[in-house]
Chain A
Amino acid sequence: MTGAVLQAINGISFAALLFLVASGFTLSFGLMRVVNMAHGAYYLIGGYVGLSVVRATGNFWLAIAAGGIAVVLLGFLVDRFLLRHAGDNHLAQTLLTVGLAFVVGDVALHIWGGDSLKLQVPMFLRGATELPGDIVYPTYRLALVLFGVIVAIVLWLVYRKTQLGAVIRAGVDDREMVAATGINVDRLFVLVSALASFLAGMSGVVGGAFLTLHPGAEWEILVYALVVVIVGGLGSLEGAMIGALIVGLLDAFGRWLLPEFSYFVLFAPMAVLLLVRPRGLFGEAH
C-alpha cells in the first residue's frame, strides 16, 4: 500500500514537470500552428545553462531565470531565421526543428560533455520530508509539485480570465479574424512563442535537478511531452494538465510494476485514444 502511494506521488511530481514542458509545446502549436521538435532541445539547453549558472553563482533561482531567458533568446532567433521559412507546412517545420535539435544537442555535447549531470538545489529543498502515513519523500520533488500547480493555475487564469488570454484563445480559433479586428497578431506570436520558450528552458532547470541532463535527454522528454499532448489534445492547456497527470502516473506505476516494459506503458494510452478519440481528450479539429 505504501508502495502504491509512493508511486502515486512519484507520478504526480513527474506529471508536474511534464506539464511544464508540454504546456509550452501545446501553446505554441495552438496559436502559431508550429510543431517544434526542438522543444526537447530547448529544455536541455535551458537545463545546461541553469547548471552552469548554479555552478558559478550557487543561486538556483537565478539559474531558473537564466535557463528560461537563454531559451527565449534562442527561440526568438529560431522563429526569425528558421521557422519563418516553413510557413504553415508541418512537414517542413518538423524537419527544420529536428535538424535544429540535432545541432543544439551536438553543440551541448561539446560544451557540457556526455556525462549525466544534475543541478544542485538550494539547501532548504534538499533532504526529505515526512508525510502523513509514515512516508518519507524527497522535499525537492514535493516542491516541484507545488511549483507545477502554481504555474498551471497562473497559466490557466491568464488564458481563461484575462483579455490577453481571450485574444490568444481567439487566435487559436481563427487568427485571420483576430488580425482583422486590428490586433497585432505578429506581436502576439512573439509573446506566446517567448512564453513557450521560457517554459521549456525553465523546465530544463527544474527537471535537471531530479532527472539528469545528458545527451539524448532532449528526445526522452520530448516524447513524453508528445504523449501528453496526444492524450490531452494539441493546443489545449487543460488537455496538457490532464494528459500530464495520466502519463506521469502511468509511467510511475509502469516503472514500478514492469521495469523492463516501462516504455511500453506509454503505448497503452495512445492506443486507447487512437481507437476511441484520435483528436485527444480536449482536442478540436484544426
Chain B
Amino acid sequence: MSRQQWIGIGVLALAALAVPQFAGSYWTGLITQILIFGLLALAVDLMLGHAGLMSVCHAAFFSVAAYTTAILQVRHGVPAIVAAPAGLFAGTLLGVIFAMAVRTRGVYFILITLALGYVVWGVEYRWSSFTGGDNGVTNVPRPVLIGLKLDTAEHFYYFVLVVLAIVLAAYRVLVASPFGLTLRGIKASESRMTSLGFATARHLFVAFVISAFLASLAGVLYVYYNRFVNPVSASFPISVEAVLMAIMGGSGTILGPFIGSGVFLGLRNWVSSFIEFHAAVIGIVFIATVLWAPEGVMGFARRVLARRRSGASTR
C-alpha cells in the first residue's frame, strides 16, 4: 500500500473511532446498522465484484445465522460465546449447500440464487412452530464480552468496529492474493483461466462459501444489534439491496460496499420521514443507479482523480 493509502486508512479509522463522541445514540445506532449492512454488501461483492456472479440469496445466510444465534440464546440459554459461532457455522453450512449454484453462470446463477433464497424465507415463514413465524424471535440479549456488557449503542458500535477492522484486513489480503487474482481472471475470461489450468469451479465454490461466511457474520452482528429477527431478514429485498449497495458504492472495492450502504440506508432513513411511497422510492433508486451511476461512488471518484492527474501531466 502507498503512503497515501495508509494516511487515508488512518484518517478513516480516527473518524470511525470519534463517531460516538459527536453523534447521539440514534445516529450511532444508524451508523452501526450501515456498517453491518455494508458487511453484507461486501460479502455479496466478493462474488459480484471479483468473480462476476450476481448472487441474490445472501440474505438467506444472514438470516439463518441470525436465527441460529437467537434461538440458541433465547430458548436454550446458550451463552453468546457458543451461540455466535454456532450461528456463523449454520450460515456458512447453508452456503456450502447453496454453493452448488456456481455450477451455473450468468443469468441462470441470478435466477437460481433468487429461488434458493426464497425457499429459506418460505421455510422460516411457514415453519412457525420452530421459527416463530411472522413474529420471529424476540429479546435476544446483547453479548457480554470479557465482563463488558455491550448494551449501550456506543459499546456495541465499538464492538462492531473491532470486528470489521479484523475482517477488512483479512478481506484485503484475500482479494490481493493469488486466489483473488484468479477470481478476477475468471470474471474476465473463464475459458482462458480453464485453459491455463486453473480449477475455476473449485475457486468459485470456495469464494461462494467465504462470501456466505461473511454474510453470516453480518447476520450475527445484526441479531445482536436489532435484538430481534423475523423472516423479513431472509427476504429477497434484503439480498438485492445488498447487491445495489455494492454497486452504488463501487463494486470490486473494499470501501465501496460500505459507502453504498451509507448512501442507501441514509437515503431511505431520510426519505421515509416525509414520503409515503417507500418501496417505490427504493425502486427508483435501483433504476437511477443502473441508468446514471453504474460505477458507483468509487468509480466516480476514480474517474475524477484520473482526469485531474492527466490534466496535470498535460500542463
Contacts and interface: CB of A to CB of B under 8 A. Distances in A.
Chain B contact residues, majority secondary structure: helix
Contacts of B243: 95
B272 interface: no
A177 to B, nearest CB: 22
Interface of B: 54, 56, 100-101, 103-104, 106-108, 110-112, 114-116, 118-119, 121-123, 125-129, 236-237, 240, 243-244, 247, 276-280, 282-287, 289-291, 294
Contacts, number: 129
Contact of A86 (B103, B111, B290): B290
A172 B289 CA distance: 30
Contact of B126 (A106, A260, A267, A286): A260
A270 B122 CA distance: 15
A212 interface: no
A267 B23 CA distance: 45
Contacts of B279: 102-103, 105-106, 109
A270 to B, nearest CB: 6
Contacts of A227: 115
Contacts of B126: 259-263
A41 B27 CA distance: 35
A99 interface: yes
Contact of B277 (A110, A223, A264): A110
A102 B286 contact: yes
Contact of B112 (A95, A103, A230): A230
Interface in A242-267: 259-264, 266-267
A112 B60 CA distance: 31
Interface in A82-97: 82, 85-86, 90-92, 94-96
A274 B280 contact: no
Contacts of B123: 260-261, 263-264
B118 A263 contact: yes
- Contact size class for A? 35 or more
Pick from A219, A223, A279 the residue with the most CB of B within 10 Å. Answer: A223
Given A95-B243, A263-B122, A264-B119, A234 B107 contact: yes
A92 B294 contact: yes
B110 A99 contact: no
Contacts of A260: 123, 126-129
B116 A106 contact: no
15 contacts: A35-B110, A82-B287, A98-B240, A98-B283, A103-B287, A106-B280, A107-B277, A219-B118, A234-B108, A260-B129, A261-B123, A261-B126, A263-B125, A270-B115, A270-B116
B127 A270 contact: no
Contact of A90 (B106, B125, B244, B277): B106
Nearest to B131: A260
A229 B111 contact: yes
A226 B114 contact: yes
